[in-house]
């Protein structure tokens, strides 16, 4: 490593040590970090208006795993791949062959994601549909997904529902709530002991008047009706403008109900932008709450750190590497907060000092620290530059070309 990088690291390490930060502990935690990337993030996905195919985009789950491996190989912290039942696992052969493929490539299958929002029958809802046959179809699909998850070694059943209405009077809120709870209790009862159910929420879309699981409180209620292995999944894009997401995260942690994240960012609504691309300080403040729980654990369940982004104009793999590096860098900044100084300032109601303590960590350039960690992990110090120089992108664009049927939102 060039001497100027060594000097930069030593200067940073000395600064952190002066704040009372255990640099060796920070480095060890960064090396243990694990991020799950989504299979659908490597496929062609689109906007609400259409899909814009890219050369080289993955079509099969096996190609998606190969592409996910590139992200893990270059970052060292993305060993998990989420699968989507409808888009990834069309038959028993795929279910049978995926575990061996993942193991061969040095990654693991993460969450299993059912789909109860694309079929025509779900026009008026899935597990809140007035028709019991439609509700039965949705429940059976989730039960089948549990069995698939068991075969793939997945321990997380990730659930999102598009159920909602467009107009006042269209349906009975409480009746739909009862149907939802009845359905989810059945699904929960079918999970093996090692599996958790993560329940996502969203304030609107596609239902423009109401969504059956519109916020974190509604997800909490449903989870508590099911049992302790049902927890809330926070998608960073699923919040109205101005929502204090870090406050929600703190509340869920305190209630021991935070089960996982879908990392992304939004400018207006559920835009699926790269995490931290629009509001990096908000992302830092969210991670600050997560690190507080990590350093002072109070019995919260394991937290699944998952990416949920569909790149439209960015190249799939390079965009995912950017994402994982942003998560890693933000985690590092949260780990170097001077928590004693923060607590002292809070105890004295010193607002300026308290805020400044967070700003100092956020504004610290952690790149020298990250480069050292990556070097010791045996991955490139600059993951994105190394990937772009690898030739992999050019090869898959040449060999795969532009194809249809890659599976993803909008198809």
pLDDT value at residue 13: 97
- Within 296-410, residue ranges assigned H as helices are 316-335, 339-347, 351-363, 367-377, 383-390, 392-400
Record the tokens describing residue 352, joined without a space: 């300026």
- On the question of pLDDT at 155 being above 90, the answer is yes
pLDDT value at residue 311: 85
pLDDT tens digit sequence for 345-403 = 999 999 999 999 999 999 999 999 999 999 999 999 999 999 999 999 999 999 999 99
Q: Band of the pLDDT at 3, cuts 50, 70, 90?
A: low
CA dist., res. 64 & res. 69, Å (int): 9
Q: Band of the pLDDT at 5, cuts 50, 70, 90?
A: confident
Record the tokens describing residue 23, joined without a space: 């640099």
Q: Band of the pLDDT at 271, cuts 50, 70, 90?
A: confident
CA dihedral 374, 390, 110, 255 (to 10 degrees): 40
CA dist., res. 128 & res. 107, Å (int): 36
pLDDT value at residue 6: 86
The predicted model gives 266-276 an average pLDDT of 91
CA dist., res. 241 & res. 234, Å (int): 15
- On the question of pLDDT at 404 being above 80, the answer is no
pLDDT value at residue 48: 65
pLDDT value at residue 1: 45
Q: Band of the pLDDT at 310, cuts 50, 70, 90?
A: confident
The predicted model gives 148-152 an average pLDDT of 98
CATH topology for 9-400?
A: TIM Barrel (3.20.20)
- On the question of pLDDT at 298 being above 90, the answer is no
- On the question of pLDDT at 409 being above 60, the answer is no
pLDDT value at residue 410: 41
Bridge pairing between strands 80-84 and 36-38: parallel
Report domain extents, the chain. Answer: 9-400
Write the DSSP assignment of 251-287 as a string of letters: HHHHTT-EEEEEE-B-SSSS--BPTTSS-HHHHHHHH
């Amino acid at each position: 490593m060039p001497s100027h990088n060594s000097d930069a690291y030593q200067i940073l390490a000395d600064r952190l040590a002066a704040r009372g930060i255990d640099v060796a502990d920070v480095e060890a935690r960064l090396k243990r970090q694990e991020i799950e990337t989504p299979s659908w993030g490597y496929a062609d996905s689109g906007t609400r208006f259409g899909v814009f195919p890219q050369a080289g985009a993955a079509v099969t789950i096996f190609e998606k795993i190969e592409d996910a491996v590139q992200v893990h190989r270059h970052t060292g912290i993305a060993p998990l791949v989420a699968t989507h039942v409808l888009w990834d696992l069309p038959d028993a052969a795929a279910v049978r062959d995926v575990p061996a493929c993942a193991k061969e490539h040095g990654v693991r299958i993460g969450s299993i994601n059912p789909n109860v929002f694309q079929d025509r029958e779900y026009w008026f809802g899935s597990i809140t549909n007035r028709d019991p046959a439609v509700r039965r179809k949705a429940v059976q699909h989730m039960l089948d997904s549990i069995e698939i998850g068991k075969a793939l070694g997945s321990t997380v059943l990730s659930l999102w529902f598009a159920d909602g209405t467009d107009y006042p009077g269209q349906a009975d809120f409480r009746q739909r709530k009862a149907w939802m709870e009845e359905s989810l209790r059945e699904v929960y009862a079918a999970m093996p002991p090692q599996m958790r159910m993560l329940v996502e929420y969203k304030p609107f879309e596609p239902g423009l008047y109401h969504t059956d699981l519109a916020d974190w409180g509604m997800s909490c209620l449903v989870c508590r009706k099911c049992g302790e292995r049902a927890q809330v999944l926070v998608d960073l894009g699923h919040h109205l403008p101005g929502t204090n997401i870090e406050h929600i995260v703190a509340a869920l942690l305190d209630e021991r109900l935070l089960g996982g994240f879908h990392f992304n960012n939004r400018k207006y609504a559920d835009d699926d932008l790269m995490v931290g691309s629009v509001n990096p300080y908000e992302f830092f403040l969210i991670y600050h709450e997560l690190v507080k729980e990590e350093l002072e654990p109070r019995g919260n369940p394991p937290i699944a750190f998952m990416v949920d982004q569909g790149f439209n104009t960015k190249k799939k793999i390079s965009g995912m590497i950017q994402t994982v590096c942003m998560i890693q860098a933000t985690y590092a900044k949260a780990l170097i907060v001077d928590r004693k100084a923060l607590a002292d300032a809070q105890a004295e109601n010193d607002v300026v000092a308290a805020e400044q303590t967070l700003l100092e960590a956020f504004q610290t350039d952690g790149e020298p620290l990250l480069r050292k960690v990556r070097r010791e992990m045996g991955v490139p110090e600059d993951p994105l530059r190394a990937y772009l120089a690898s030739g992999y992108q050019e090869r898959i664009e040449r060999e795969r070309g532009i194809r249809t049927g890659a599976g993803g939102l909008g198809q």
